[in-house]
A and B are shown apart, each in its own frame.
Chain A
């Protein structure tokens, strides 16, 4: 099993450009998450999907959209990138029963917006 995979690993954008970050998991998990990590801020939840067909806002959703394409895939889209969105983005998944909360993380996408 590959676990949680993310593409791309690195990306540089200009202000105003758009892009989609891809995430996939092969663990048959129900719930998937997108976080951003900034120095000194820890991990902050952007959006999550408790189950296929549902998405909800997290702590810092502004400027982002998500799509739960199917059970395996959960994408994060930046419609008009801003320098404040320079960050490391992590996708995570868990079983999603609400009882076992362990989340498994992908390797991250390092995004720079100029």
Chain B
């Protein structure tokens, strides 16, 4: 089956620093999604990418759909304490209604 490798597993940064995390796949995906999960809550969609090479921003967040369709990255600029949480990538081949999730990146921001 499809597998996603998400890295890093965890990050400890200082407030104000930029953050980068990425996902790579063994298969081609038609859609890449990035979610954030706050402690005790369900994942919330941050950015959706539907086209190879697409670069999309949402405030301080920027994500790209890799040109090979097998990878994606998420950047967070000028991190703030409320950025703390688990970030998940997810991909879909588009034909079977299912998403494959990475194992998550745990982000800690020190004020």
Residues of A within 8 A of B108 (CB): none
Instruction: State whether A42 and B103 are in contact (beta carbons under 8 Å apart), knowing that A105-B42, A105-B43, A108-B42 are contacts in the complex.
Output: yes
Q: How many A-B residue pairs have CB under 8 A?
A: 57
Counting CB contacts under 8 A, is B111 at the interface? no
Nearest CB on B from A13, distance (A): 20
Give every chain A residue within 8 A of B97 (Cβ-Cβ).
31, 48, 50, 94, 96, 98, 101
> CB within 8 Å of A: which of B61-111?
88, 90, 92, 94-99, 101-104
Query: Which residues of B sit under 8 angstroms from A98, Cβ to Cβ?
Result: 94-97
Contact with B along A25-69 (1 / 0, CB 8 A): 000000101000000111111001010000000110000000000
Residues of A within 8 A of B102 (CB): 42
How many of B's residues come within 8 Å of A, CB to CB? 26
* Main SS class of interface, B: loop
B103 touches A41 (CB 8 A): yes
| A101/B92 contact (C-beta < 8 A), A31-B97, A43-B101, A107-B41 known | yes
Other-chain contact of A42, B40, B95, B101 (Cβ < 8 Å): B101
Q: How many angstroms between the C-alpha atoms of A21 and B42 in the bound complex?
A: 15
Chain A residues positioned under 8 Å from B11 (CB to CB): none
B33 in the interface (beta carbon within 8 A)? yes
| Chain B residues near A40 (CB-CB < 8 A) | 103
Residues of A within 8 A of B (CB): 4, 31, 33, 40-45, 48, 50, 58-59, 90, 92, 94, 96, 98-99, 101-108
